[in-house]
Each structure stands twice: as C-alpha cells, then as structure tokens.
Chain A
C-alpha cells in the first residue's frame, strides 16, 4: 500500500525545455501564420477572378458602358435595372425560363426517383446498373446537344425515322414553336435524370434495414412501407438535389446555344441566352450587367427561401 501512495521522486527539471530539432525548424510557422499561408493563395485567385469581376459587374450595371464604344461611361443610377425589369421581352424570357425549370426539374425528379427506387430493389447488379445510368450526366453539354440535334433532325433524325415507320408522321422537334421548348426539356431531362437518381439512390441505400424488417413483422403493405419509411427518410436529400438542379436549369445556356439558338421566334430563349444576346450582339454591356445581377439576386433569394423551407421540414 505504501508503495503506491508514495509520490514519485521529483526529477529535476531542465533549465530550459529544448524543443526537438524538427519543431525548431519551422517554429516561425505558428498555427495562425500557417492558416494564413495556406488560405491566402486560394483567396487571392478567387478575389482576382471572382470578387473583382463581380465588383466590376456591379459598377458596370449602373452605367451605359458598351464594349464597342471607347467613350467613358456615364453614370445612370438604377436606369438599367428599371429598364430590364419593365421590359416585356425580359418578362417573356423569364416565363420561358420558368416553364423550362419547372418542367425539366419536375420530370427529372419524378423519373430519377423512380429509377433509383427500382434499382434499390434489385438484389444483384446494382453497381453496374447505376454506372450505366450515370453515363448521360458525365457527358459535356456540347456532346449531349449535338447527340440530340442529330437525333431530332427533321429529315434523317432517328426519332422521326422511328415515328415514321410507326406511321405517326414527322415532327419538327427543334423548329416548331412550343415543341422546341418541349424538346429542350426532354434533352435536359435525359442528361440530368441520373443526377437526381444518384442522390436518391444514396438516400435509399442509407435507410436502415431494420425499419423494413419491423414493418414486415407488422405485415405492413408495400405502399405503407414506401409512404411511411422510404419517402420521409429519402425526400429531404432529394429536395437538396432538386435545388442544385433548379439553380443549374435556371442558368441554362449551352443546350439552347447548340440545339435551337433561341429560336423559333425566341420561344426557347432562356434568360441566360438573352443576357448573352444583350451583351455580345446588342453590345449593351451595362444593361447586360444589370440583367445578370438581377438573375444572381433571384437565385440567391430563391435558394435562401428554399433552404429555410427545407430546414423547417427537417425540424418538424
């Protein structure tokens, strides 16, 4: 007993604690300096190519600057913004964009979730199936646009060829009003359904098995299991995926550029494409800047509201 209670013999401390050799080498790098050293290069690049352009964009939006004229720009105040908001063309383009976003993201969510659900119920080959379904998403929008422009061609496109042999007649997929926007939605859905599918699948495979087993014991119907277990657990994740997709769809440009060029009669002209025309054909840089900033504001406000809604949904 006395052995264990005895305090250890006091060792004489050295006069000064010597840090080991390695620590001394980089002693000047305190945590704070290291953090600064690590972050500043990245921030510098972002300031140079994200923040500074943004500041310049905001400044431009208050002026009548144009790329082609060499005269100094005059300050206009909020004129550009008022012009953009009250312009009937912009309102039309906003409606087109809204139809596109709702149609495409809605379809993608439904199909993506359905495919993910079907895949998650397979016992074998899940990995191979997933990989196969993901191909469209990894392709460049240019490649996808060209694929479909070729397939939807009026004369020798394979879609019309199939329809023809079924006796349904041909359609002008990309040059007929109304139909062109629909084709755009279809192509976007083809490319991005895998995105929703991938995230829904991640959610579906994460649902704990024992919940289903417990429901099985209670002889719960398939529908009950889906409605009460699967959906509540996976839906929040799917909603996040929907937000990502909606933001991307809202700024759609490349597919329009390749498939329709905004035609026919401007019926497929999205907001992004309209900004491009104002900036690079109208040479009205100041106005395009205001236009773009309004778009950014819409995205920020909408996503904030959406996130708040999502948060409420999850805490409930």
Chain B
C-alpha cells in the first residue's frame, strides 16, 4: 500500500511537492507522537487549518467538492484507524527502513522519501481533516473514560470491543447504557451498605461480582432482591426464635422457621407471623405482669440453691462459724481451716451472713442457705443472737436445726447479759459464747461423720 501511494505521488508537480513538503514537516512529528496534550492538539489544529485555507485557494471549488465526495466514499473504517494507531509505534521504524532502501538508489534523502506517504492525506479537504481530528479526539476521550471506569473496577471489555469495532453509533449506544448502569450500580452499592449483611456475606460477594458489569443492571437488581429476601428471612428467623419462648407459639414458630429455608416462602411466612406477633406481644405483656405480681423470683432462687447443693455430693465439712448480734454486729469467729486463711474470701462470706441478718424480710427464727463459690453459707437468725456457718460439701438435713439449737443455747445461757444489752451500746461479752461455738462446731462435725458413714 505504502509503495503504491509513494509511486503515485512522484508524478505530481514540483509546486505541489513544495506545499506537501511544508505539510510533511508539520505532519511527521505529529505521526510520531502517540498522545498529544490538549494544548498541543489545539496549536496543531490552528496551523493545519491555516494551511488548509491556503490549499483551498490553490484548488478550485469544484475540485474541492469532488475530493470531499471522494473522501466520504473512501472514508476509512474505525477499525483501520485503530489498527493504524496501535501499530504506530511498532511499524513506523520498519517503514522508514524500507523507504530508505528504495530511495537511496534514486539519490533522495530519507526526508524526501517520506513525502509521498503523506500525500493522500494532503488530498483531503479541510472539512474532512477537521472531522477526522474530531473523531480521534472523541475516541481518545472515550478511551480515557473507559480507563477510568476500568480503574474503578468496572468490566469495560465489552465497551472496548465495541469501540474497537469502529461503529461509533453502536458504541455510543452501549456507552450510554454503561453510563446509566454505573449510576444504578452506585445506588445499589449504597443500598448494600445500608443492609445488615451478617450471615449473607457470600451472597454479597456474588452481587459485587455482578456489579462489575454495568451493562447488566437487571441481573444485579435481581441479585439485590434475592439478597434482601435472605436478610429479611434471617430477621424473621430471629423473631421466630424469640417467639419460641411462648409455649403456645413454639410448634408454629418451628414450622415457619423451617419454611424460611426457601426465601421464596417469605411472604407466606410473614402473613402467618402477623397473628403470632400479636399473640407473642400479648403473652409477653401478661408474663411481665405476672412477674411483677408474683413472688416467682424467690422461688427461682430456692430452686437454684437446691440445684447447687445437689451438685456437691460430698459430706458436710464445717469450715467457719460466726456469731453476730441481732443487728449484725460481729461477736466471734471460730475456724476449722488449716494453714493460711484467705482473709478476703472469709470477709466476703462474713458480709454475706451479715446482709442476711440485716435483711428485714428474714424474720427471727428463720434459717437461710446460700451457695458461695464452692462452699455454702448457712445462717440462722435469732431474736438476739445470730450465727453463720460456712460448710463445704452437702449440708446435713439437720444442719439448720443444729444452728437453731446453738442460737437458742447462747440466748438462754447468757440471757441476763443479752436482755440488759441495748443494741445501740457496745456489744456485750458473752461468757458462754466460746463454749457454745465449740459445741456447734463439734456437733456439725459429727453430722458430717454420720453422712460419711
């Protein structure tokens, strides 16, 4: 092709050659430049247009019209242009080499040899030149936009194909679709951000993959709908689980939870859940009310104590014994522990016993049993004297009775002193207290031995 063109040009007049060589000087660097900057493009455009003006003066208007028609007929396809563009850097040096081989024998310089190659372009009308420049510029702009989109993570390969095919009309159509698709995709992305995606991470990843192709937003929308359904199903599942706490709703909730495995059942499940929701609320309020008016919490505590005690199946071992006044003032302590005593732990238990004694709800004559860590605190509240005993293992069934007897003994044997004692004054010294404490400890150990047997 290049050879044919060059041979044709050699027959042109010298005058034409001069004009062409002037143009060639302008065109060569332009051909070598891969992507001119917008400023450069502008300056080149202006210089080209001034030369085109000169050309129109040289050529008669009829000839220009003829050339224009010819140019329209022979307009190169976009594909060719692209091919030319992409091969520019690799083919240009090869062309130069071929030309120099041919021209050396004719005694021409390499510069002269390039001239005929550019000749056909010289024949184009200014209008055609302008259109061509504009098209290239537009194409470049599109290419840059596509690059930006590709960088943003969108799959632009289909658009690139469309652009390379050179059918700008079809490309522009796809481009507009792509552009619209990006707007919708951004909306979808914002929507995803607002969702609670815990438990549906895989589905979100799938959707994000689909979101890379803005030409298929319908598919993305379907995925989004599915994702929303799944999230909604998860929410309903949680709600159903909470409903299971109401006995009358349990079986229905279980069955609906099963139905939710297929997200397409959501609407049906939701419809059925309406009545259950109402029932749940009604039951919930009633339970709340019952809790307020019942003495249930105390019952729960009792059960807990029994369970805790049952856990410790070992026989009773007495660890410590405390004596208090009826107001909870500490009077004496006896221990069966060997080695170093964990004072902090002991004080905690002493305080617990004191709290029980000071509790208004526990009236004199009552015994209380509370687990404290791996030990149990037994307290008996008397009218004037109270005792607290820390034991390990399972308490003997008569342990409470033993404490009661012990308190009664202390109150009886030191009755004179206790009766005279005013709770506001200094705590009294009870002459029989130590003896009675020893007696309680001994009796408790005996009970433990009995359990062991």
Genuine A/B complex: no
- What residues make up the interface of A, taking CB atoms closer than 8 Å to B? none
* Interface set of B (CB-CB < 8 Å, partner A): none
